[in-house]
Structure 1
Amino acid sequence: MLENRQFDNSDIQSVMLDDENSTLIILDQTLLPNEKIFLRLTNQNQIWEAIYSLRVRGAPAIGIAAAYGAYLGIKESKAESYEQLYEDLKKVKEYLASSRPTAVNLFWALDRMETRFKAEEGKTVDEIKNALKDEADTIRIEDEMVCKSIGENALSLLESGMGILTHCNAGAIATAKYGTALAPIYLGKERGYEFKVYADETRPLLQGARLTAWELNEAGIDVTLICDNMASIVMKEGRIQAVLVGCDRVAANGDTANKIGTSGVAILAKHYRIPFYVCAPLSTIDLKCSTGEDIHIELRSNEEVTSKWYEKPMAPEGVEVYNPCFDVTDNILITAIVTEKGIAYPPYTKSLAELF
């Protein structure tokens, strides 16, 4: 069973390691905003389920959870040799990688853990295990630094007083700290900027309503929740001067996979001549993926649309449902892609490659 405990709003950290008890601790984002509960995950099945069920979500946070999951997966291994331990790692990696197909950080983090494992060849089993813990810790620490750098770069594109539209949740609880698309909003608040944020509710899982609105409201930031189909009117009324979104994967040509509905927001922003910025750590940029057509889009259960958030089903029983988790925003709709290493502008095939 998972053990629960309340947590303090003053220090939001969504993924943590309790190494002494061989436990991964995550903030259960499916319960927000009504319950603020940490879950203690003690085996691979629980970690897999937490990633699949979006208890831990946001590309960077998924990567951190996967890295710690890989470490915990081999920590208790009885292997006595490098070769035996490597076989255990490969099984753990393959299992955790099957939890979500779209977010590239999941695979990036697991590959990085395997690379570190191989670099430790010749050392004792215990030394290798310690090295993997160190690598997972480094992934978490680096993500905090990356998010702050993204925030600094994105803030250079904004001015105090702007109205900003967000979609889904790319905030502190989706990363190690600060967030990606919300990082400039947090940094701006620290420096006296006054932003007016409009948060799309983000159907069908309501990450904007449950998570972004909660997170910004807790931080004392001016935030207004709107339904997804209200994005056009707030743009037309002149309330929005910039759109900030995160992403789960960026193709080499700048096509970007993000939460379903992002592409529609980008089309609206293009129509109203509002800059549309994607905030993306380099770890989400997949130069091996040529275009958005190569990105596998995850399909999720019918219940998320028909009944999950209702006391009674709100659709006819047995009706066919199409529920893709992500859509792809074409690069022509994206004003700039903001990374920790700088801001990429079209043509993205060139500018993204140069960041590496």
Structure 2
Amino acid sequence: MADNLEGQSCLSERLQLLDQFGYSNIEKFLGVGKHSNKNMRNRTIRILETIAVSLTTGSPGEAFAAAFDSRNTLTLVLAKNDCVTDEDDRAVRCLFNAITAPETQDAYDVLPFLLSRCGRNMEKRVTKMHDAVTAFSHDLDMVLRDYQPLDSIEDEFPKSGVYREKKYGGKQISSTQMMRDLLADIARTARDFNSQSLSAKDLYEGLAVYIPILKRSRLLRSLCEATNSMDLDRELELERLKHRLEKVSQYYYGINSLIRYARRYFPQGINHRWVDAIPGTGETTIVLDDDYLEAVSRALGSRPSEETLATLRTEFPKMEEMWRSRRSVKASRRNPDRA
């Protein structure tokens, strides 16, 4: 048990470091540029994460993980933190049948499978996104006091022409009004999706239209680039908003990437196997070291150089404050033998 706790503490500390450095942001895996090998690895990580998410039903305590084994024939290796059921195995085959079917054009055609398998998890993500969007809406007046919009609404909201034409026709509106309307449209569609009062497929596609416009908006991008001037609460709120938007987007744009990837690398399907569930130790609270530099030193295997420390303090000026605010980590691994 002592060895398990020590390993859990080490894992929690390093996961917290990755989170603080921004690697828990799924958009980090969209790297582009000249480092093609790194970009390929990042794309593969994103694909594997999407596969795992596409199998997740949203049952309490449930988690899936995926990896590729390329030692012989390419095989998808899957794990679940509980006993694997026949339904889980069928879901893998249904997923790949859906994404490689000739009639599948994009994620919209895969939504029937996703809604039947992952509906509960999708609802959880949409609810959390709704709460984050609502919180941002409430603070919008305060945010706009320090923001100077551009004259061109296209510059404020890139690639939003279709939305603006459908929403306003040819009417000229201010960027502030459009931001309010966009946030309201996202919140309303999220409520309708979770109330199941309208077509879930169409509502989720609607969210897939609105979310990228918000993410590309100059206001949101400016806030993300200017976090040094924010208080910690505002920064955490913005971080939650970005994270929630990305989580909902994953069931659409992540699936689009998976469709392209699957058709290129395994159009005839892919072999898969499951690994045995790992017995859990229940729920444990881990308290991390008060000094984040000690955690960095342990991760690197040596004390960071002065140059590295200077870079850390420049690139992550609030890391010490944020690290101390998140030192308590609750780890929970479910035992499959427990009723």
The normalised TM-score by structure 2 is 0.29
Greater relative contact order structure (CA < 8 Å, 6+ sep): 2
**Structure with the largest fraction of helix:** 2
The normalised TM-score by structure 1 is 0.28
